[in-house]
Amino acid sequence: MTDPKSATAAFVGLGSMGYGMVQSAIRAGIDCYCRDVRPEPVERILADGAKGALSAETLIHCDVAIVTVLNAAQTKEVLFGADGIAQHLPKGAVIVSCVTMAPGVARELEVRCRDVELLFIDAPISGGSLKAASGMLSILASGSPEAFAAAGPVLDAMAETVFELGDTAGTASAMKAVNQLLCGVHIAALGEALTFAATQNIPPEQFINVISKCAGSSWMLENRGPHIVAGDYTPHSAVNIWLKDLEIAGTLAEQAGASTPLMIAALDQFKAAADAGLGGEDDAAVVKIYAEAAGVTLPGTKE
């Protein structure tokens, strides 16, 4: 399989990342069959050009199955649960697992797939929902050469860059944990610095305009800063995601003897945000914890 136009792909999970990835696959000419626990995004993606809903009958035709659910437990259920997709996929099909999980769990899933003659790519993603929808994700991927050969065109349809990091599952998940450590620290640091700036009579918009051109910038500052300036906490990636992802990174680092004082300080802020009822808001809402402590009023909040 080399031409994406001859590929047929199953997608499980139509959240902010998964939905955009299907859109990119459709644009590349891939036949897409989709499933989500909610009916609404399935109906919407069918209207957007997906071939059909995912079922035992349609799974038989899928060469590749992309899983973009919330966590490792959901991934296991999707693959090997009572109505798991593994039992319906044709032999030799590839599972592309995009969920952030511990490397050990990714390796375990690879072995279980091999046992039922399926290929597996550990393929966590980075880049946010806009890049998912434009086919410009970074995909951190590790798996067997056979799995890459079979899934390559579908991965390429969704990604600006596919980093092939190794020939077994786990390596990509480890890289994702490292990336998430940085992302979590940078989001919390954005909240810390933006609030500090506000106490110095530097408004959020000026802070973002200036610092994004200075050495203090980060991908997260440029991406999440405008959410705070607009006072818009519609979740692209929610506060609760960081409780999960930094827990995975923290456990892995602790097992390896790596010290992570900045990550722990960042996690404390996300925990405080979740405790304050902000768990479902956009992760930029961690700034509200800083702002409240300093008595700073943010855009979009009442005086």
Q: Which residues bind its own copies (CB under 8 A)?
A: 103, 126-128, 138, 140, 160-161, 163, 165, 171, 174-175, 177-183, 185-186, 188-190, 192-193, 195-197, 199-202, 206-207, 210-211, 213-221, 223, 249, 252-253, 256-266, 268-269, 290, 293-296
Angle, alpha carbons 18-22-23 (nearest 5°): 115
Rg (CA), the chain: 20
Residues with active-site annotation = 176
- Which of 294, 237, 229 has its CA nearest to residue 270? 237
Token pair for 112: 């279980």
On whether the CB atoms of residues 92 and 41 are closer than 8 A, the answer is no
Closest Cα partner for 183 from 229, 143, 136, 124? 124
Cβ nearer to its own copies, comparing 88 with 224: 224
Beta-carbon contacts of 173 under 8 Å, excluding residues fewer than 6 positions away, are 100, 101, 102, 103, 105, 106, 122, 124, 142
Residue type, 255: Q
Which residues fall within 8 angstroms of residue 204, CB to CB, at 6 or more apart? 194, 197, 198, 225, 228, 229, 298, 299
Sign of CA dihedral 194, 197, 201, 202: negative
First to last CA, the chain: 59
Helical pair 16-27 and 39-47, crossing angle rounded to 10 deg: 20
Largest CA distance in the chain: 63
Tokens matching residue 226: 């405008």
If you search the block for the tokens 């190794």, which residue do you land on? 166
How many whole angstroms separate alpha carbon 302 and alpha carbon 149?
A: 54
Helix 171-199 with 204-211: angle, nearest 10 deg: 130
DSSP state of 24: H
Please state the closest distance from residue 136 (CB atom) to its own copies, in A: 11
